[in-house]
Chain A
Amino acid sequence: YVRGIFKNLHGWFINCLRYLFCCFQDRAGQFFSSGHTNNWAVLVCTSRFWFNYRHVANTLSVYRSVKRLGIPDSHIVLMLADDMACNHRNPKPATVFSHKNMELNVYGDDVEVDYRGYEVTVENFLRILTGRLPPSTPRSKRLLSDDRSNILIYLTGHGGNGFLKFQDSEEISNVELADAFEQMWQKRRYNELLFIIDTCQGASMYERFYSPNLMALASSQVGEDSLSHQPDLAIGVHLMDRYTFYLLEFLEDIHPASKTNMNDLFKVCPKSQCVSTPGHRTDLFLRDPGSVLITDFFGSVRKVELTMETINLTDPIEQLESAESGELQKEMHTYADQLPVSEIIHQKPKQKDWHPPDGFILGLWTLILLVFFQTYGVKHLKHIF
């Protein structure tokens, strides 16, 4: 009887352990559900001139948050189209403030700008995203992401329906941006990508996305203008845009261990505060936004993968079948074959259009001439023959 109880206890204990282990594993699974191992950020301010101070302040405040949450400068590509801190009109040189009365200096003393001034162009931006940079480009100017990188892309400046203006002289369209992201997907340059844009009619910029694993946020819908926050009377310009101002306030509460997810980010700056209606797009994103942490994109939380299996490195790596009969079948990833050479070499020649043989045409014309001369007078024929 005691042995029975002991066996029951043992069984119960094993069950308990197994349950706990599964629970732990579920939580562990949940913890590792994002699937990324490193974080990158590309922060772009596209407008120059002193009265666009607020765009530089926007970008620098996101830079500040991202750096505070752990992404190092080597993984941040910061593009600022103009130098506000050292502008001749800045009454407080070497500072860029985001709150009036000079409460917060987002320029700091360790800012690293990778692309400055006239280097911020559409071409450079697209080259960074797609990785097509000349070999002489230094590492700080490259986006060296891989297929396990989560990338945060933040754009701010002046925009319109379907375009974003760079430097007052050129534009990037939403189609170009979507194609750039598709190139990134095909070259496996990101795992998941969060795209935030703070411009007028910003929602138009993410309308054309078609690559998987993209989530997008914009500060205003098509037809609406994004408005700026308060001006500072001593500096004489508007310091921040509303959306990024409230985004900064939201991010100031995030620390590396916080569990806030994307649904809270979508709620940042409702219409009562922002005057414009912020929008977001999650249909291309595979995971549920509620399970995506803010720190997945804004921070760099080091993840460790626990594996219970030994990997035999001498054998060639084979496709793994899913060990547990998971609901999600892991997709077989292959590179898209952009130039199917074998097909080109071995294809059949294209059928040319059929022409009647040449002699036939000659004969036809001779016949026509003969008929002509017969009708109109044989005397002309004598002149020919």
Chain B
Amino acid sequence: MGLLSDPNRRRALISLLTRLNTPICGMPVEWLMKTMQAKGLEVFTQRFSRTLPFPDENKERYMVRGTNVYGILRAPRAPRTEALVLSAPCSPGDNNNQAVGLLLGLAEYFRNQIYWAKDIIFLVNEHDLIGMQAWLEGYHHTNTTGMDWSPLQGRGGSIQAALSLELSSDIITSLDLVLEGLNGQLPNLDLANLFYAFCQKIGVLCTIQGKLQRNDWDSVSGYSHAVQTMMLMVMKQASGRPWGDHGLFLRYHIEAATIKGVNSFRQYKTDATTIGRLLEGMYRKLNNLLERLHQSYFFYLMPSLSHFVSIGYYMPAFGLLAVILLLRALDLWVQLSTPPQRTEDGVTDIEPVRGTHFKTVADLLSLLTPLVISHLTGVALYMLPIRFQEMAVEHFPVSETEAVVLTAIAVYTAGLALPHNTHRLLSGEGTEQGWRVLKLVAVLYLAVLLGCTALINFSLGFILALTLVPVAAFVTPHVPKVLSAFILVILSPACTLLFSVFFFQELQEMPISFQDGWLLFLSVISQGILDHSLYGSLVYPLITLLVYPCWLLFWNILFWN
């Protein structure tokens, strides 16, 4: 009993796979519809179209138009209240041809079984993430990203779990499990454990972050291998982009993961039938579920597939960093509330900050102005690159993508120059109290910001905290200017991103030269902007509208005099 023990079915699957080996231009919609209907599924399509804000150079697309094809296998005896999704992104060329063939073979096998208690939706989406976003928005009747799609004609119940397949060859040596989703959201740990346990049972090699698990935990090299794997996960989670098609499901509270087939040089190879058996077993397990997976952790970091670090372990580390900021705030508060000369009755002493500082409008302005200017700069950084790309292209010999990215960097650098001028314009020299109040506000602002970020996307919050908290705590107008300016720039969000790019490449054991690194950095910025407008990723607005202004406040404090 099991998939494809029947040789006829095996032959049919292999013929499907070989046929799909030939390069296909676009997606064979008609052929897919006919095949799925022949297998007994209810087939529907969805058209979608989207114009990107600027051309995507990584995937070479600008005006995207596509069709998703999906077939629903209805559960023979169950009411249509729950569904499972098996998806394979279909891209032009032979990027993912095997996955579609396997999907169709599984569809045929599943159709003949009677133990399904949930509908199974076999989805082939075009233009990977964009198509998936269109399908999910259509399924759940939401429209968060302004995409244009046709409504779905057929629907299953509420989706309980989803798996996305990426197989590029029919001989697999190992399977890679990808968990990181949009905005650093992760599926329930139970899904990862389920997959790994089942892989071990069948005897298929399973990896995470592309790294194979080692057995020697006590040795230094084993430990550093685990740390590297975990740092890779931290980097991927901090980027806030979905690293597989599954990443978009997580927003709808659907536990999803992507399974990538890897064909590397190993002795033991598994073929498509074993992968099919694996997937059949996974779907049978998901079928037996009575409720959504929620018993295990949603926030974790995995140094390997059999170990995880839960939020209870890693959050205190971040908490200690945030405490630094709070202590500094407390220190400033105490400094501010013991003024040198004070009045007779104790009433004014009780609220000295307000009393001392906001006696004149100039003082108030001196606090508000940096705030407003920094945030306006942030808003400019958020909006200008996309708005003025046509103007930039007219005046400079660059492509649109380069225009956007370079405008962003230009606005960022220009922001460094602004604070010098503002408060000198207004009130001449800044007062001693002035910078203290500003720093108090800035430190608290940073603490709240980092706290909220860490709650949603721990890796991003932690990396920002690591780089921003030390400078935030120590910067005053009285520290040596050149050195601290240099350090402040090195630890600003943009440079952190640059170093992270190099670090990420190092961790993946593919170190790159500086020029390649710089180009990668530029493409990362453009991808971040695109992710925000296409899927609603929050990293780009967070950095430009909140973190960058906060950093500018500290820059302002440094140059207070």
Contacts and interface: CB of A to CB of B under 8 A. Distances in A.
Contacts of B75: 88
Interface string B111-132: 0011111000000000000000
Contact of B287 (A51, A86, A89, A234): A89
B77 interface: yes
B284 A88 contact: no
B173 to A, nearest CB: 27
Q: Looking at chain A, what size class is its interface with the partner chain? A: 10 to 19
B190 to A, nearest CB: 14
A90 interface: yes
A210 interface: no
B288 interface: yes
Contacts of B117: 87-89
A51 B288 CA distance: 8
Interface in B96-153: 113-117
Contacts of A223: none
Of listed B1, B75, B284, B288, residue having the most chain A CB within 10 A: B288
A50 interface: yes
Interface residues of B, number: 14
Given A88-B116, A234-B1, A50 B288 contact: yes
B78 interface: yes
Given A88-B115, A88-B117, A234-B1, A93 B288 contact: no
Contact of B113 (A87, A91, A93, A237): A91
Contact of A49 (B78, B113, B115, B290): B290
Nearest to A91: B115
B433 to A, nearest CB: 62
A29 interface: no
A236 B2 CA distance: 13
B82 to A, nearest CB: 10
A89 B113 contact: no
A49 B117 CA distance: 13
Nearest to B77: A88
Contacts of B78: 88
A88 B288 CA distance: 10
B114 A236 contact: no
A181 B193 CA distance: 46
B115 A90 contact: yes
Contacts, number: 28
A98 B116 CA distance: 22
A95 to B, nearest CB: 12
Contacts of A236: 284, 288
Contacts of A49: 290
Q: Is the interface of B mostly helix, strand, loop or mixed?
A: loop
Nearest to B118: A88
Nearest to A48: B290
Interface in B273-305: 284, 287-288, 290
B260 to A, nearest CB: 27
A93 B1 contact: no
B541 to A, nearest CB: 44
Nearest to B291: A49
Nearest to B117: A88
Contacts of B287: 89
A174 B284 CA distance: 38
A116 B115 CA distance: 22
A69 to B, nearest CB: 34
Of listed B113, B115, B117, B290, residue having the most chain A CB within 10 A: B115
Interface string A180-196: 00000000000000000
A233 B115 CA distance: 13
A93 B290 contact: no
Contacts of B115: 88-91
A89 B118 CA distance: 9
A194 to B, nearest CB: 34
A96 to B, nearest CB: 15
A89 B288 CA distance: 7
Contacts of B1: 233-234
A262 to B, nearest CB: 39
A51 B1 CA distance: 21
Nearest to A237: B288
A90 B78 CA distance: 11
A261 to B, nearest CB: 43
A234 to B, nearest CB: 6
Given A234-B1, A236-B284, A91 B114 contact: yes
Nearest to B75: A88
Contacts of B113: 91
A88 B120 CA distance: 14
Interface string B74-95: 0111100000000000000000
Contacts of B76: 88
Contacts of B114: 91, 93
Contacts of A88: 75-78, 115-117
A237 B290 CA distance: 14
Contacts of A90: 115
A93 B284 contact: no
Interface in B1-24: 1
Of listed A50, A51, A89, A93, residue having the most chain B CB within 10 A: A89
A87 B287 CA distance: 12
Contacts of B288: 50-51, 89, 236-237
Interface in A84-113: 86-91, 93
Contacts of A91: 113-115
Interface in A46-102: 49-51, 86-91, 93
Contacts of B116: 88
A87 to B, nearest CB: 8
Contacts of B77: 86, 88, 93
A93 B284 CA distance: 16
B80 to A, nearest CB: 11
A354 B424 CA distance: 91
A189 B284 CA distance: 48
A357 B384 CA distance: 96
Contacts of A89: 115, 117, 287-288
Contacts of A233: 1
A49 B288 CA distance: 10
B53 to A, nearest CB: 46
A158 to B, nearest CB: 15
A51 B287 CA distance: 12
Nearest to A233: B1
A71 to B, nearest CB: 33
A143 to B, nearest CB: 32
Nearest to A90: B115
Of listed A233, A234, A236, residue having the most chain B CB within 10 A: A236
B87 to A, nearest CB: 23
Nearest to B284: A236
B263 to A, nearest CB: 31
Interface in B61-82: 75-78
A228 to B, nearest CB: 16
Nearest to A50: B288
A93 B114 CA distance: 9
A350 to B, nearest CB: 59
Contacts of A237: 288
Closest 3 CB pairs of A and B: A88-B117, A88-B78, A91-B115
20 contacts: A49-B290, A50-B288, A50-B290, A88-B75, A88-B77, A88-B78, A88-B115, A88-B116, A88-B117, A89-B115, A89-B117, A89-B287, A89-B288, A91-B113, A91-B114, A93-B114, A233-B1, A234-B1, A236-B288, A237-B288
Given A88-B115, A234-B1, 11 more contacts: A50-B290, A51-B288, A86-B77, A88-B75, A88-B76, A89-B117, A90-B115, A91-B113, A91-B115, A93-B114, A233-B1
